[in-house]
């Protein structure tokens, strides 16, 4: 119990008995089994876990009070990298074959190094706009503030039902999203910022829905430039 990673062979060598006997004792008599660690994005502290509960309940209560109104006012955003080539998944490569036929073969390929960063702003009605980061630029607070100003203009143009409504805006906790300059701009624009607990990608609908479908549609397609990637993404 002092070394949970000790191997069966090591115990057998120390006790001068067979590995088979050690295996039987460990599994059948002691009721032990070897388990492997599970990968998680971040190990949360008790305080962060409690914050996840509190923030999730707050958003759920807001949604439950008036679902239709919540969805009319809710706008979210996230960034994703779109590669010039992403190989298709095993499921996408499936083909119908007669019984007894050999399985088709394909070489193992990696996604391309060429890629472009897309910032997507969207709501329950669809995409509001997508910004594509130009080569040599980075998304800092100033860049992000410019996107928020564009969002305000696009909402006025494309979402007439929001003319007298306050936007319920949801973003993750990326550094450029949480600076004092960004918070001041969100307040100036009149956006109500929804809570997003730390290290909670599962609460960002872009991650588990929109981007997953987008990447699935682009898998297996090859593009020669950023312009081709942008055109296909827009389509």
In terms of domains, do 24 and 73 share one?
A: no
Mean pLDDT of 74-87: 90
Give residue 1's pLDDT: 78
Give residue 118's pLDDT: 95
In a domain, residue 211? The reply is: yes
In a domain, residue 41? The reply is: no
Give residue 64's pLDDT: 95
List, for residues 191-201, the tens digit of each pLDDT value. Answer: 999 999 888 87
In terms of domains, do 64 and 24 share one?
A: no
In terms of domains, do 55 and 166 share one?
A: yes
Maximal C-alpha separation, the chain: 81
In terms of domains, do 74 and 118 share one?
A: yes
Mean pLDDT of 168-173: 94
Mean pLDDT of 166-188: 95
> CA–CA distance from 124 to each of 74, 77, 203, 226 (Å)?
7, 12, 16, 28
In a domain, residue 102? The reply is: no
List, for residues 89-112, the tens digit of each pLDDT value. Answer: 666 667 777 887 777 776 666 677
Please give the Cα distance from 194 to 55 (Å, whole number). 9
For residue 170, list its beta bridge partners.
76
pTM of the model: 0.75
Q: Looking at the 3D structure of the chain, how many domains does it have?
A: 2
In terms of domains, do 19 and 66 share one?
A: no
Q: Are 125 and 73 in contact (CB under 8 A)?
A: no
Please give the Cα distance from 36 to 5 (Å, whole number). 10
Q: Are 124 and 71 in contact (CB under 8 A)?
A: yes
How big is the CA angle at 208 (ends 153 and 68), to the nearest 5 degrees? 55
In a domain, residue 200? The reply is: yes
Q: For 99, what's the count of Cα atoms within 13 Å in the CB-facing half-sphere?
A: 0
In a domain, residue 114? The reply is: yes
Q: Are 62 and 170 in contact (CB under 8 A)?
A: no
Residue 56 sits in a domain of what CATH number?
3.30.420.10
In a domain, residue 8? The reply is: yes
Give the distance from CA 140 to its chain's centroid: 20
Please give the Cα distance from 230 to 225 (Å, whole number). 9
Please give the Cα distance from 206 to 77 (Å, whole number). 7
> CA–CA distance from 193 to each of 98, 177, 210, 224 (Å)?
56, 11, 21, 39
Segments forming the whole domain that contains residue 230: 46-90+110-234
List, for residues 197-232, the tens digit of each pLDDT value. Answer: 888 877 788 988 899 889 888 888 889 899 999 999
Give residue 108's pLDDT: 63
In terms of domains, do 203 and 114 share one?
A: yes
172: number of Cβ within 10 Å: 20
In terms of domains, do 83 and 180 share one?
A: yes
In a domain, residue 96? The reply is: no
Mean pLDDT of the chain: 89
In terms of domains, do 201 and 228 share one?
A: yes
List, for residues 16-66, the tens digit of each pLDDT value. Answer: 999 999 999 999 999 998 888 887 778 889 999 999 899 989 989 999 999
Q: Are 92 and 220 in contact (CB under 8 A)?
A: yes
In terms of domains, do 114 and 63 share one?
A: yes
């Amino acid at each position: 119990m002092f070394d949970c990673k000790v191997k069966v062979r090591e115990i057998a060598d120390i006790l001068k008995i067979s590995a088979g006997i050690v295996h039987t004792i460990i599994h059948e008599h002691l009721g032990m089994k070897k388990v492997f660690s599970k990968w998680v994005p971040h190990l949360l502290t008790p305080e962060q876990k409690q914050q996840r509960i509190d923030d999730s309940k707050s958003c759920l209560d807001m949604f439950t009070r008036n679902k239709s109104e919540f969805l009319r006012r809710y706008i979210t955003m996230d960034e994703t990298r779109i590669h010039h080539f992403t190989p298709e998944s095993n499921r996408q490569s499936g083909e119908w074959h007669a019984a007894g036929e050999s399985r088709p073969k394909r070489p193992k390929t990696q996604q391309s190094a060429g890629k472009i960063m897309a910032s997507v702003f969207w709501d329950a009605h669809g995409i509001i706009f997508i910004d594509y980061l130009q080569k040599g630029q980075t998304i800092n607070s100033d860049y992000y503030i410019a996107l928020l100003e564009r969002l305000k203009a696009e909402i006025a143009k494309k979402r007439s039902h929001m003319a007298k409504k306050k936007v319920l805006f949801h973003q993750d906790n990326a550094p450029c999203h949480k600076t004092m300059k960004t918070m001041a701009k969100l307040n100036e624009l009149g956006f109500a910022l929804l809570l997003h607990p730390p290290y909670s990608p599962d609460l960002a609908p872009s991650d588990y829905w929109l981007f997953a479908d987008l990447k699935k549609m682009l898998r297996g397609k090859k593009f020669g430039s950023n312009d081709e990637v942008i055109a296909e993404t827009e389509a």
